[in-house]
Amino acid sequence: MAFADQFITNLAESGVDVTNLDTTSIPDSGVVLSNLKSARFFMSDQGPLDPDVRDGFDEGNLEERVCSILADPTINAAPEIPTILDALDGTTGKVSDLLTIAEDCAQRADANGGGNV
């Protein structure tokens, strides 16, 4: 199974709404993993956000769709995976938790399906 197929399967099994994801919208594993790592850094204690802003942003996905903001060119935390971030927005949870889930799914898909789409 190719990376994109396995990644989408892993996300679905983890409770992420993958309704609008298809294999053509998933970059190769290296791009996905590096963008998720960048987004997680952005949301971490070492990232650029003030702690109060970060906490508010992290909790924001419980009420609004905020994961996809990480792909915005002005934020530029994960510009190459907008469809994946949009799928995370369709799932209830903290941004940091959803990014961790997505990264775990990508790592497992990479290990099982290789880096090709």
Give residue-wise pLDDT tens across range 21-78: 999 999 999 999 999 999 999 999 999 989 988 888 888 766 677 889 999 999 999 9
Whole-prediction pTM: 0.89
- Is pLDDT at 117 greater than 70 in this prediction? no
Residue pointed to by tokens 């994801």: 21
113, two tokens: 């399906």
What Cα–Cα distance (Å) separates residue 32 from each residue in 51, 52, 80, 99, 116?
26, 28, 8, 11, 11
Residue pointed to by tokens 């994961």: 67
Helices (H), 1-117: 3-13, 29-42, 51-60, 82-89, 95-113
